[in-house]
Amino acid sequence: MVRRITGFSKFSKEEKIDWLMKAFFEEKSISKETLKKYWNSDVKLQELHDDFIENTISNFYLPFGVAPNFLINDEEYTIPMVIEESSVVAAASLVGKFWSTRGGFKATVLGTTKVGQVHFMTKMTSKAVEDYFEEKKEDLLKATKAITKNMRKRGGGILAIELRDKTSDLENYYQLHVTFETKDSMGANFINSCLEAIADEFEKEGIQIVMSILSNYVPECVVRAEVSCKVEDLLPGSSTIDPTEYAEKFKNAVAIANVEPHRAVTHNKGIMNGIDAVVLATGNDFRAIESCAHAYAARSGRYKSLTNCEVKDGIFRFWIEIPLAIGTVGGLTALHPMAKFSLELLQNPTAEELMKIIAVAGLAQNFAALRALTTTGIQKGHMKMHLMNILNQLGASLEEKEKLVKYFEHIPVTHSGVQEAYQKLKTV
């Protein structure tokens, strides 16, 4: 069976699917009808989705949920979340409600500077490169004036252009390190257009421009979110756990993530459960957010927790500082109907306001995970939420689901345990 093809992108969607079925699904393990079930019945809406990427054959849906009762800087929010993992939205909702009665979340944007670089190679001496840069610096800014005109009207634009000598890392390697303010736009296209104009103006005989591209590492585009309360208020009144002991245990769980990378990766993954879910819901770039967050977590030379905890003078404090380069205008935020809905649900925030909301979602998710880990364990709540997924995999009927959900109300949920209970129910 030959599975190579020429001109695939020119096929209609139907033709693409027909070829895939013939080339890869001889046993008909999946049908053309399955793919078509996920097409949107609104033709114009489907065409919009088809234009987001190339070679579309269908849509891949993820659940869209909301987590209510978030109090952020004394404003009430219901946060949109797009994620497939069981218990994430439930955990966020519980934590939002918990902290809403303890002063809520406080969030502050510490900086919004974004970065782009022109990477070039030259055998010129360092002094000659520096002299040329100083000679051309004003021309580099002039070369971007037409591109930055509208951004400057909104208070953004190029903040600085700096020459960096990187020859100690790589022979003949230098860069123009450019910083930007892009206001409510994520700014990728704006930054890249500016960089290419700068590169064209800077290039000359003896200087080879290798590439001009924004950086997704933005350690100066940072937001801080935190919660705090008296130690005695850290647990619900019905709890039998000593609050001081619990606060210390919670703090130690964060401290472990600051010294043990194996734990830190999982710790930060839980944070990203909350962050990515809101980033996706608002049409932002979760891959850029992820890569930047993990680079930031390793900025000291060791991969560490993105959150921190302090218990001092009877006060419990828990906070996060994280870089978030996001936008509320342009890109998918202006095209995807559900992204528009999410932003309207959040009261049409500015980019800075959205940074705060996203950071809070990450902090809430981490609080939920650490609270579970340091008390009942992570699996109890997670597997309760996962029960329905297992039952769906087994093909349980609505009546069977109701019986099994009731059966597992007071029994630990395990995959094998659910399978066994299901088979027993089937034989009754």
pLDDT digits (tens, 9 = 90+) for 405-416: 878 777 777 778
Residue 377: the pLDDT is 58
- pLDDT reported for residue 27: 66
Residue ranges for the chain with pLDDT beneath 70: 1, 27-29, 377-386, 428
What digits encode the pLDDT tens for the residues 217-252?
999 999 999 999 999 999 877 778 899 999 999 999
Active site residues: 85, 269, 285, 382
- Distance, in Å, from the CA atom of 250 to the CA atom of 124, rounded to the nearest integer, reads 56
CATH code of the region 114-215? 3.30.70.420
Q: What is the pLDDT of residue 423?
A: 84
Numbered ranges of CATH 3.30.70.420 in the chain? 114-215
104 φ, ψ (degrees, to nearest 5): 75, -170
Q: How much is the CA Rg of the chain, to the nearest whole Å?
A: 26
pLDDT, residue 240, reads 81
- The end-to-end CA distance of the chain, in Å, is 47
pLDDT of residue 401: 81
Task: Quote the pLDDT of residue 166.
Answer: 98
Burial 332-356 (b: 16+ CB within 10 A, else e): bbeebeebbebbeebeebebbbbbb
Q: Which two tokens stand for residue 122?
A: 């030259």
pLDDT at 397: 84
Evaluated on CA atoms 270, 276, 278, 281, the torsion sign reads: negative
Residue 415: predicted pLDDT: 77
**What CATH number labels 64-108+223-375?**
3.90.770.10
pLDDT of amino acid 393: 82
pLDDT at res. 108:
98
